[in-house]
Structure 1
Amino acid sequence: MAAAPALAQQESGDAPPPVASAPATTQGARSYTPQDFARFSPRTALDMLRQVPGFTIQAQDQERRGLGQATGNVLINGQRFSGKSNDVVTELGRISAANVTRIDIVDGATLSVPGLSGQVANIITASTGVSGSFAWRPQIRARRTEARLTNGEFSVSGKAGGWDYTASFANDSFRNGNAGPEIVFTPDRTIIDRRDEVLYAYGEQPRISGSLKRETDGGSILNLNAAAGLFYQDIDEKSLRSGLGQPDRDRRLHEQEREWNYELGGDYEFDLGDGRLKLIGLRRFEHSPFEQELLIDFADGRPRQGDRFEQIADEAETIGRGEYRWNAGGADWQVSGEGALNILDIENRLFALNPAGDWVAVAFPNSVATVKEKRAEAALSYGRPLSPNLTLQTSVGAEYSILSQSGEAGLTRKFVRPKGFVSLAWKASPLLDVSAKLEREVGQLNFFDFVASANVSGGTTNAGNVNLVPQQSWTVELEATRNLAAWGTATARLYGSRITDIVDIVPIGETGQAPGNLDSATRYGVQWTSTFNFDPIGWKGAKIDLDLQFEKTRLEDPLTGLFRQINENAYRQIAINFRHDVPQTDWAYGWGIDHFAQTPGFRLDQKFQFSNTPGNVGVFVENKDVMGLTVRGSVDNILGTNEAFDRSFYDGRRTNGLLFTESRDRFYGPVFTVAISGNI
């Protein structure tokens, strides 16, 4: 298929500098060159990919079991990125736009990378020497919250001594806050408590990361990548309370986390016999001290009350994987094997404040443990064209795991789970791509659910459950992408899943509750992703991007036996973004709407729901040449969306009578951001 029409209005002198020869365009690909993105003045490969018409980036699944077969929808030079928290999106942010030769959009089932389906972006890069970029994004909210001044990053990439390299430093800092009333009322709407509340949240996430790549004359390829970072967060909430028959109260909550983490990964690919062998390794570690402290002072002089929860958690993951692929009989074959060790070493402690003002430990069974999973998997994959316009890819495999927990509730269990998929890619016409996929998946358990935990802010505890098993599902997807030529691109995706052993909150004993497995659930939905250009009607440089997703879920409530939706599941997500790059100028402007809605959450004694109606609406103005820099000013939440939360409490269980309801409505006002980016 011919390349899509250029997106930009080019002038003489706009062409990028020449680069080394790039791989041939994949047959059937929709291709974009640097000229197609010139009007956006991109600084990195990530900036370019975000402007590909009708394409939404899906990062690799960081919560999946091990590495497994490829996930997400982005490749770099035809290869998956061997990382998890240090993922392909991070790598794209380190690659200068000057080093991007081309972006191909192709159906994943046509590639020799098992696991991919639907529209996949292959970023073709070639080093043109040392280059880099930086960005700084100061932000301030109209009410209360201090300015965010430390959010930004810089990166550099290049070639030295036969090695391609990238390196970056980034800090994804945040300063959030809100304030407003919370009302507590009985079923007959009698108000029993009034609360004036203010919340502040501060966070710093500095992170360094980098990668090295070397390709020998014989075609062997070595990739190395590493990342290390901190996550420091502080949350303070103040609540002044008064109610019927109660003294006035001053409630203070402080929450903090002081995490450090690292990830090391790499792969080496080389010829072996009639095929290619790729060896992959990865090591991740995270140390996360966390605490919550709640204090309540009373106006009538009674002793202060308080609760405190402390957690120290060490998470580690070590993975070794091998993939051997070859071509025989007109088909691509791959056999893969993987071994992984996942460990959570955790200690949770709970304290209460006595009348003398001392913290006293509270009995907290099953709160100290080491959870460990040893896992191995093997798979055989096969792919071939069935006709000039139809391609088949399939994989069959299984995993074996030993799951153990030490401590008071020590237990060891073994599992064997089949997995695999079959997918088809059909080139229905030069402008229409259709793909279908049926997959058997095995989910990843949250090891924190195995041990008892508490939330002193919400007043809840989970007993912990050592009998959890991974959920499994059958998933089917159907995706169609229509190239609208000069008008843009549109993709529609239908999907559905039949899930077994889904994790939800279940009864433990007569009064306890904890995450546990339910027999089954269903999930189905539709997603629409598109870009419509207004150039054909004479509005040069204007476009609108739509990303809409609607989802329905169903499971049987473990307490009532009635059918409801999955806890806190996003059932509606709407993102509409308009942008106009004014021809023959460096100016652009636009607006965006971002809205989501989620289902209620259920505990055995509570029902709760967050809402953000009507959602975020923002506008921006951008100049792409302010002394060589791109400067963008934006205002978000101009409609004044509040953060609302409602929670209903029942008499022991939700099957009993309703006691009272908390209703919160917190205002945070407009958010002002300046983004300054440039090349190094």
Structure 2
Amino acid sequence: MRVALAAHAAVALVAAPASAQTADASGRIVYEATFFQRFQPANALEIVRRVPGFTLEQVEVDVRGFGQAAGNVVINGQRPSSKSDTIDVVLARIPASRVARVEVGPGTLFGAEYSGKAQVVNLILTGEGGLAGTATGTLRRQYDGKLFPEGSVSTLLRRGDSTFNASIGVNNNQTSEEGYDTLRALPSGELLEYRRKINSIADPNAFVSGSWDYKASQFETARFNARYAFDRFRLSQTNDVLPVGGIARDDRLNQRFNFDEWEVGGDIQRPLLGGGVKLIGLATRRDRQDRERALLRVRGNVIDGDEQQVRSQRDEAVLRALWTRPDLNGWSVETGIEGALNRLRSKVDLFSLAEDGTRTRIDLPVDDATVTEYRAEAFASASRSLSPKLRMDLALNYEMSRLTVEGDAEAKRSLRFLKPKVNLDWRPGNGWRAQASIARTVAQLRFEDFISAAELTNERVNGGNAELVPQRSWEALATIEKQVLGDGLVKVELGYTQTSLVQDRVPTPEGFDAPGNLGDGSSKIARATFDVPVSRLGIKGGRISGRLSYVGTSVRDPYTGRQRPFSGASPFVYEVNWRQDMGDFAWGVGFSGDDPSTYYRRNELDTFYPGNPYITAFAEYRPTRSTTVTLSVDNLGDFPARRSRLFFDPDRRTPSPFRVEDRVRSQHILPYLTIKHNFG
């Protein structure tokens, strides 16, 4: 009987129409699992990436607190109570066979932390019991012919109202890149130095994680999760230096970075006053030990050098309580409070090395300090449909924090911010949708920006700044989208942001360059995305997608007094992908690139030129419904990346640079073979 039922389900899966439909007046669009069968996905991550017009938002794991670390994906209407496991990692652990459907709707349908997000994906899992999982193995080849294997295994077991998930993975990231540097005098362009460089990079990392989920009803849920991960980054650089008219050197650079992370968390939810009250707890610890050494050598003998050691410990504890009610006099409401303690203890030791090996410590302005933040945030959101086609979302957050710096620098400050959000969502019909939102946002500070440290590979020092404060902005965004050619989607976004106390780079009294605050700045935003099937144009199984983004930033430079972009901003970004699915076989190619980005430092302009276009390609074969074999190639165009550093003396108030350094690096063409197998 069980075999017959399974066979009947498989027939129904094939026969069901692969279409999307609007599920309710809130604007939620539903994609049944059959819609994704043409792509033969191995896990939930591959399903989410195939949702038309949707871009998975990557959130930095260093973001403090729980609410601000929300991405744009939830599972069964709930956000996983984990931060170290990013959402793409969580999704990759869920077998595709356990996904019943995908819902796409405005952010406020899924909680206060998602308010203002134009699209949030809700992944609905099946209630099917038993064991299922995914095993993945990859073999990478670098340009010198070396092969490197890696793999992961994840399992999911459902028993009654409980779901158990366990995962282990090893990434054997190893790369070699070659290139050269030139150092020239300006304005003559005379060559001063030529350097031939080869970087051997090994970045092995591994993780093990597990979770238990319990769901008896909508408001009777519980979860516990734990994770351990480590990373062991190793770089060895050979550097043949040929000064014009000088003595040739064979310099060396070695970097050894060790990173360990532990996280435990969980939540529990119970019914209360027609809704549900949830308590979330999370504790994380990250230990880091870095050591790097740069040596100047002549015929193998050290003539000069530097060494740096960094030891840091980062701790976070978060407690969040919230109450949710989906229908309160026509409103969907959520309110709560979050408290967090974050602490960074960091000590940096920088030494100069003499020929005889003697080490002399170099004192930096803030190289031994503890940064502590106590933060509380109250929040509330409410949304309702004003008509069958119009929805309004409101949110209000109030943040309070106490920040202290102790050690080489002493600083204390209390900060308070009111952060309102308003969003209107209009669906006039015929596949059209329009959104308009305005919100006040406050950026987070990187605790590492308070600490001084050297960059040995760049021969410069980053000063720490204990007086740094977060920038704050008013953001306005308008979005128009249209469904085309069945399940295709075209979307255009226009926005404007006004920012005060822009976080950028400023001079320090000690003569260093450090993170700091400038004056008022602005950003102009124009983005277009498309995801279009071309079957109706005669190409069966074909689909083209892409995005074009322009973000123009402007702030007054503290040296020149003129307007310039924010440091690190890349105005234009583009991506175009083609994919064709033909039964058991699929293939695709992608092109991506972006504009150069410049960091405006005290005495230099540091500009990065990515190797454009970055071309990827793949060919995929599915010998069975459970197994996929994929041959992929990265950097198919073999375009190198370039970096240019213009130097000014004594700083950028001098209008003309006196020297330029150009760096060229290439990893060449990178092929790899991946085998994925689903079981259960």
Question: Which TM-score band applies after superposition, normalised by the shorter structure?
Answer: over 0.9
| CA 155–443 in structure 1, closer or farther in 2 if over 3 Å, else same | same
Q: 1:21-170 alignment to 2 at 5 Å? A: 25-27=23-25, 28-60=27-59, 62-68=61-67, 71-111=70-110, 113=112, 115-116=114-115, 117-128=117-128, 129-142=130-143, 144=144, 146-150=146-150, 152-160=151-159, 162-170=161-169
Q: Give the superposition deviation at 1:65.
A: 3.7
Rounded to whole Å, the distance in 2 between the matches of 1:136 and 1:302 is 44
- Conserved 8 A contact 1:70-1:115: no
- Conserved 8 A contact 2:295-2:302: no
Match for 1:124: what amino acid? I
Q: 1:222-233 alignment to 2 at 5 Å? A: 222-233=222-233
Match for 1:359: what amino acid? R
- Give 2:201's aligned residue: 201
Q: Give the superposition deviation at 1:430.
A: 4.1
| CA 492–72 in structure 1, closer or farther in 2 if over 3 Å, else same | farther
Q: SS state of the match for residue 445, structure 1?
A: coil
- Give 1:643's aligned residue: 641
Match for 1:630: what amino acid? T
| CA 377–541 in structure 1, closer or farther in 2 if over 3 Å, else same | same
CA RMSD, Structure 1 to Structure 2 (Å): 2.2
Q: SS state of the match for residue 393, structure 1?
A: strand
Rounded to whole Å, the distance in 1 between the matches of 2:650 and 2:676 is 55
Q: Does 1:555 align with 2:566?
A: no
Q: Output one character per residue of 1:18-58: Cα deviation in whole Å (capped at 9) or x when no partner.
A: 9xxxxx94543322112111121111111111111221111
Moved more, 334-343 or 59-68: 59-68
Q: Does 1:513 align with 2:533?
A: no
- Conserved 8 A contact 1:373-1:401: yes
| CA 80–16 in structure 1, closer or farther in 2 if over 3 Å, else same | farther
| CA 63–441 in structure 1, closer or farther in 2 if over 3 Å, else same | farther
Q: Output one character per residue of 1:408-454: Cα deviation in whole Å (capped at 9) or x when no partner.
A: 21222111111121111111214112222211111110111112111
- Conserved 8 A contact 2:61-2:69: no
- Conserved 8 A contact 1:471-1:500: yes
Q: SS state of the match for residue 672, structure 1?
A: strand
Q: Give the superposition deviation at 1:606.
A: 0.9
- Give 1:234's aligned residue: 234
Rounded to whole Å, the distance in 1 between the matches of 2:219 and 2:342 is 34
Q: Give the superposition deviation at 1:273.
A: 2.5
Rounded to whole Å, the distance in 1 between the matches of 2:639 and 2:392 is 47
Q: Does 1:631 align with 2:629?
A: yes
Rounded to whole Å, the distance in 2 between the matches of 1:553 and 1:449 is 22
Q: Output one character per residue of 1:483-511: Cα deviation in whole Å (capped at 9) or x when no partner.
A: 11426112222222211222211111262
Rounded to whole Å, the distance in 1 between the matches of 2:630 and 2:193 is 45
Q: 1:276-675 alignment to 2 at 5 Å? A: 276-299=276-299, 304-326=303-325, 327-486=327-486, 488-509=488-509, 511-582=511-582, 585-625=583-623, 628-656=626-654, 657-675=656-674
| CA 238–61 in structure 1, closer or farther in 2 if over 3 Å, else same | closer
Match for 2:670: what amino acid? V
Moved more, 324-333 or 444-453: 324-333
Q: SS state of the match for residue 38, structure 1?
A: helix
- Conserved 8 A contact 1:490-1:530: yes
- Conserved 8 A contact 2:577-2:588: yes
Rounded to whole Å, the distance in 1 between the matches of 2:302 and 2:125 is 66
Rounded to whole Å, the distance in 2 between the matches of 1:613 and 1:319 is 41
- Conserved 8 A contact 1:127-1:164: no
Segments of 5+ residues of structure 1 without an aligned counterpart are 1-10, 19-23
| CA 499–485 in structure 1, closer or farther in 2 if over 3 Å, else same | same
Rounded to whole Å, the distance in 2 between the matches of 1:673 and 1:466 is 45
Rounded to whole Å, the distance in 2 between the matches of 1:592 and 1:218 is 41
- Conserved 8 A contact 2:331-2:383: yes
Q: SS state of the match for residue 536, structure 1?
A: helix
Match for 1:140: what amino acid? R
Rounded to whole Å, the distance in 2 between the matches of 1:69 and 1:178 is 36
Rounded to whole Å, the distance in 2 between the matches of 1:189 and 1:397 is 55
Moved more, 279-288 or 513-522: 513-522
Rounded to whole Å, the distance in 2 between the matches of 1:612 and 1:46 is 27
- Conserved 8 A contact 1:110-1:425: no
Q: Give the superposition deviation at 1:61.
A: 5.2
| CA 636–452 in structure 1, closer or farther in 2 if over 3 Å, else same | closer
Residue identity over aligned pairs, in percent, reads: 27
Q: Give the superposition deviation at 1:243.
A: 1.7
Q: Does 1:192 align with 2:192?
A: yes
Rounded to whole Å, the distance in 1 between the matches of 2:180 and 2:113 is 52
Rounded to whole Å, the distance in 2 between the matches of 1:395 and 1:372 is 28
- Give 1:6's aligned residue: none
Q: Give the superposition deviation at 1:169.
A: 1.3
Rounded to whole Å, the distance in 2 between the matches of 1:302 and 1:39 is 62
Rounded to whole Å, the distance in 2 between the matches of 1:505 and 1:219 is 47
Rounded to whole Å, the distance in 1 between the matches of 2:420 and 2:224 is 29
Q: Give the superposition deviation at 1:303.
A: 5.4
Segments of 5+ residues of structure 2 without an aligned counterpart are 1-8, 17-21
- Give 2:179's aligned residue: 180
Match for 2:259: what amino acid? E
Rounded to whole Å, the distance in 2 between the matches of 1:557 and 1:211 is 49
Moved more, 239-248 or 283-292: 239-248
Q: Output one character per residue of 1:281-331: Cα deviation in whole Å (capped at 9) or x when no partner.
A: 1111100101221001124x9852110111001111111111112343322
- Give 1:7's aligned residue: none
Moved more, 87-96 or 402-411: 87-96
Q: Give the superposition deviation at 1:219.
A: 4.1
Moved more, 190-199 or 649-658: 649-658
Q: SS state of the match for residue 486, structure 2?
A: helix
Q: Output one character per residue of 1:389-414: Cα deviation in whole Å (capped at 9) or x when no partner.
A: 11111112311111001112122211
Q: Give the superposition deviation at 1:588.
A: 1.1
Rounded to whole Å, the distance in 1 between the matches of 2:356 and 2:90 is 54
| CA 17–63 in structure 1, closer or farther in 2 if over 3 Å, else same | farther
Match for 1:223: what amino acid? R
TM-score (ref. length: structure 1): 0.93
Rounded to whole Å, the distance in 2 between the matches of 1:660 and 1:472 is 36
Q: Give the superposition deviation at 1:480.
A: 2.2
Q: SS state of the match for residue 46, structure 1?
A: helix
Q: Give the superposition deviation at 1:613.
A: 3.5
- Give the number of aligned pairs: 660
Rounded to whole Å, the distance in 2 between the matches of 1:628 and 1:109 is 36
Moved more, 50-59 or 157-166: 157-166
- Conserved 8 A contact 1:70-1:113: no
Q: Give the superposition deviation at 1:146.
A: 3.2
- Conserved 8 A contact 1:81-1:87: no
- Conserved 8 A contact 1:507-1:514: yes
- Conserved 8 A contact 1:14-1:35: no
